[in-house]
Structure 1
Amino acid sequence: MATPQALEPPAEALLLAAGRGERMRPLTDSCPKPLLPVRGRPLLVWHLDALSRAGVRRALINTAWLGEQIPAALGNAHDGPHGPLALSYSMEGQDFGRALETAGGIARALPRLAEVFWLAAGDVFMPDFGFDPDARVRFARGPALAHLWLVPNPPHHPRGDFGLDAQGLALDLPAGDPRPRWTYSTVALLRRTLFEPPWCEIPPGNPEGVAAPLAPLLRRAMAAGRVTAEVWSGPWTDVGTPQRWAALNAEPETPATAGAPALDRG
């Protein structure tokens, strides 16, 4: 399979929208999870609006399950609250017949991404998150390969994912370690170097369509002290079940969730 050509300017954000959403069935039998409506807007559009407010101008979206529906719904540009956001797509389902998991999907998209880029999953609801451009500048000037936003552990994931030390380094804590853990929100700033040797062996563009998770790359980089993190205390929901989706839509709207930028960091 040929490596995708970087014909358009590099994207400053990659939004993950390729998953099947098995736990969301039957809702996802006919609709990709990132297009399910939350308070009147497709779930993915909340991220697109926030990226626009932050001044991001190009986003790449990976797709697989029912992937043709996503560009059909969103087109080549999103008319965001602070200007247009150009959209392009990495069509994993069309190219390989399946999703490539997170690291495999990023490696596939790598030739089309900026040196430093935002990552966010299209099935996570974070209505107040601002994709702070100052955070991107700080990260770009530092040595870290990744900066993660962690959240308090939700009931469905009580053990969490990673620890955090006093210097802001993310920690892969061993089993039995009593230090607190937090859950990875799926939002991160990443450097392209993380997807090159010695951290990742998948060739840029992932021409063979290797499927690979992101966590092993992050753990290797954490062991070298190259991953930073911070805790996000704002609203966060992993929209992983019909019950969580229904609960979000049943909650009363606030100015932020109604569309007004309560935390406008753009």
Structure 2
Amino acid sequence: MQRGIQVPTAHVRQPPFTDQLPAPVFFRTERMPAHATYPVLRHAWGEFVYSYSGVTEVKAGNAHFIAPPHLGLWIAPEVEHTGFNHHEAVHCSVYIRRDLCHGMPDVSCAVMVTPLVRSILEHLRDLPDGTSNEPGRARLLRVLVDQLSVCRATGSFVPHSVNPELNTILQLLRDDPADNRTIIELAAMVNLTERTLMRRCQTELGMSLTEWRQRLRFVAALPMLRDGRSVESVAFDLGYASSSAFIAMFRRLTGSSPKRFVA
């Protein structure tokens, strides 16, 4: 999602290379300490970033993307970008030579990874050091690129819309994530039917309004939890009737409870 952001600078991490890829597809993992960042980069190859744990953030062009665990980010070739995190995180980067990016989106975006892609990424993470040049690993990386090209792109974890009616509703919810008005009530605000609003959400956002709301609340919850707020108080402040409903949402999006995720 786009917004003003203060990029942490306590730990500046340098990329392993800047001018030329060592292989057509190159994979590496990085454990980022709290308050770490990369310098602003622009390179001729594409880059896929995936969070194993913690929240990875990327500013690419004018867009700001947030990647909780199990969400990927695609950075198109020649796009100026920087990555950073406020708390410790572990992520991987898959660098893809430009001529192999033909199946990937032309613009930077969030990517909803499939179970197969997730399994490949976890397998690559767990391979011992010194296997980077093995033929089997190279073949697996080419399979990974093929599979990435069919993953659904979402534009952003909390996507925007240029549709006037839908954007009015989204802005209302951004201003107050705890707003619990029903889809029927929100649709009536902009003179739409419930069915029309639901259809526009799928077309413009690539997801239901319920899913979009949950993602918005997840992003809103992160700074509150980082500040030491209790799960119960954050849940109530975001419009949940109980902390258990909030925890269920959190587990669905991250695979972890709020306390464990922040810890």
TM-score normalised by structure 1 residue count: 0.26
Q: Which structure shows the bigger proportion of residues in helix conformation?
A: 2
Query: Which is greater in Rg?
Result: 2
TM-score normalised by structure 2 residue count: 0.26
Q: Which structure shows the bigger proportion of residues in strand conformation?
A: 1
- The answer to which structure, 1 or 2, has the higher relative contact order (CA under 8 A, 6+ apart) is 1
